[in-house]
Amino acid sequence: TMLSVITTDALVQSHVWRKMVQIAVNRSFNQITVDGDTSTNDTVIALASGLSGSTRISSTNCYEAIQLQTCLDAVMQGLAKAIAWDGEGATCLIEVMVAGAGSETEAAKIARSVASSSLVKAAVYGRDPNWGRIAAAAGYAGISFHPNKLRISLGDILLMDSGQPLPFDRAAASNFLRKAGETHGTVGIHISVGDGSGSAQAWGCDLSYDYVKINAEYTT
Amino acid sequence: VSLSTSESSNYIPAAPILLPQGPWKQIPGGVTAAEGFRAAGIYGGLRAKGEKPDLALVTCDVDATSAGAFTTNVVAAAPVVYCKKSLDVSETARAVLINAGQANAATGVAGYQDVIECANTAAKLLHMKPEDVLVESTGVIGQRIKKEALLNSLPRLVTSLSPSTEGADSAAVAITTTDLVSKSVAVESQVGGTTVRIGGMAKGSGMIHPNMA
């Protein structure tokens, strides 16, 4: 289960605040995954006191609303990433960044599909730079893109470009994953699927033996 | 059992918060960083094991504009159903009461009555309307809240409320279950030429694949 409480002293009208919160949730908490199980209790409550002395925000399109939205996105993304980092049994955070999609929504679906893949998660735990599993998870996300436009990088290491696998330093790529695991760091997976302007991120964690151990012992 | 809020934050370390880059500055305080908010986290005897804090309360000194996002799981927990109804009838709220230990999910009518009783009692102690108090629960699915323990702890929880960073930190610890770290963050930024603060806390480690609306 994930729970969150968000507070701000911004002055914002109810309908605007509710819209902004859902947008931020979609860009943060709804883009994380640890084990693919959706809880019965997931909740975010966001309260705005209005005590900052700022002018009232009454439209989602005004400059002040855009400023507040970016801050709200940042706070929720910071918390969401902390949840994925702390995933049961995890040794590292996986950050999937997708660009070139037709829209933010499409990019988000592809990113979360990759972050959710048990095979990708297990490969990261096994320190295996398995671009094939990443490509497959992007491909079954339900978003159409041309396979010849697919580009995949693991950190700074380019593994696939224009849909073609590239020769790469397997040992260096594996070491990159190993180091992230040893330091509980971050594994960045960069994916481009075309020339569109849609981009989005998703976050997950690797899948270790400890996940099974924890959930075999903790009843739900 | 008595445990102060300052001791509560020592139970588990704080998570590294990986804030994106932007026109904001990270500041201390979590949910209490913004003007008008207080928080507390105490051990109320709800957990099956250990004495880590398990009850948290966040309050606002004024009517706060409220928003929520909730699981789209059809089998929604009683506090989720309660909060959705509350937000449907009111655009403001003043408090969020959170317990760890029992999820109060799949607990039927009795579980829902527990939420109402907890919210009403908290509202009375806080001198608020019952609909001003929202509720979140986490823990074992299928178990009702240890209501007597919660109700007995509420007076101490209310008197522990603080606008300090310690208050926010203790609340962030109290909502954790299998988490190895607590999650709390706050930022300060300019919005329309005025300094605005946004803070938050979260919990989560397993059973994580949110689809909230």
**Mean pLDDT confidence for A72-86:** 98
Query: What is the predicted ipTM?
Result: 0.96
Res. A217 pLDDT band, cuts 50 70 90:
confident
**Which value, to the nearest 10 degrees, does the dihedral of the CA atoms of residues B96, B94, B20, A57 take?**
150
Which residues are paired to A47 by β-bridges?
A: A7, B66
Q: Distance, in angstroms, between A108 CA and closest chain B CA?
A: 13
* A-chain residues near B191 (CB < 8 A): 10, 52, 54, 57, 64, 67-68, 71
| Closest by CA position to A135, among listed A169, A103, A155, A110 | A110
| b/e per residue B55-85 (b: at least 16 CB within 10 A) | bbbbbbeebbbbbbbbbebeebbbbbebbee
Looking at residue B182, what DSSP letter applies? B
Judged against a pLDDT cut of 50, whether residue B154 lies above it is answered with yes
What is the three-class DSSP state of B94? strand
pLDDT for the residue B49? 86
Q: Classify residue B146 as exposed, middle or buried by CB count within 10 Å of its CB (0-12, 13-18, 19+).
A: buried
Instruction: Give the span between the Cα atoms of B190 and B23, in whole angstroms.
Output: 8
Q: What is the dihedral of CA B32, B38, B42, B46, to 10 degrees?
A: -100
What single-letter amino acid sits at B175? I
Confidence band of A220 (pLDDT split at 50, 70, 90): low
| Spatial contact of A75 and A164, defined as CB atoms under 8 Å apart | no
B78 CB neighbours in chain A (<8 A) are: none
Q: What is the pLDDT of residue A215?
A: 86
* Residue B1, pLDDT score: 38
Q: Are B87 and B70 in contact (CB under 8 A)?
A: no
What's the whole-number average pLDDT of chain A? Answer: 97
pLDDT at residue B78 in the model: 98
Question: Is there a contact between A22 and B66 if contact means CB atoms under 8 Å apart?
Answer: no
Contact by Cβ (8 Å): B15, B200: no
Structure confidence by residue, pLDDT tens digits, A126-140: 999 999 999 999 999
Task: Indicate whether A156 pLDDT > 60.
Answer: yes
Summarize the confidence of residues A142-153 as an average pLDDT.
98
Count of pairs with CB atoms under 8 A, one residue in A, one in B:
317
Asked whether the beta carbons of residue A220 and residue B197 sit closer than 8 angstroms, the reply is no
- Asked whether the beta carbons of residue B200 and residue A79 sit closer than 8 angstroms, the reply is yes
% of chain B beyond a pLDDT of 90? 92
The chain-wide mean pLDDT, for chain B, equals: 95
Across the interface, whether the CB atoms of A41 and B103 are under 8 A apart is answered yes
Which bin fits A39, alpha (ψ -120 to 50), beta or left (φ > 0)?
A: beta
| Residue numbers of A annotated as active site | 1
Q: Nearest CA of chain A to the CA of B191: how many Å?
A: 5
Query: Looking at the complex, does the CB of residue A46 fall below 8 Å from at least one CB of chain B?
Result: yes
Chain B interface includes A93 (CB < 8 A)? yes
Q: What is the pLDDT of residues B68-118, one digit of tens each?
A: 999 999 999 999 999 999 999 999 999 999 999 999 999 999 999 999 999
CB-based contact, A14 to chain B, within 8 Å: yes
pLDDT tens-digit readout, A175-211:
999 999 999 999 999 999 999 999 999 999 999 999 9
CB contact under 8 A, A29 and B60: no
What number is the average pLDDT over the span B148-157?
A: 98
Q: Could you give the CA distance from residue B171 to residue B159 in angstroms, rounded to a whole number? A: 14
Q: Which residues sit opposite A190 in a β-bridge?
A: A97, A153
Task: Give the pLDDT confidence of B20-54 residue by residue, as tens digits.
Answer: 999 999 999 999 999 999 999 999 999 988 899 99
Is the pLDDT at B7 greater than 70? The verdict is no
Set of chain B residues whose Cβ sits within 8 Å of the Cβ of A49: 34-37, 60-62, 64
Task: State the Cα–Cα distance between residues A188 and B197, nearest whole angstrom.
Answer: 30
A148 to chain B, closest Cα gap in Å: 30
Residue A45 has its nearest CB partner, among B105, B136, B183, at B136
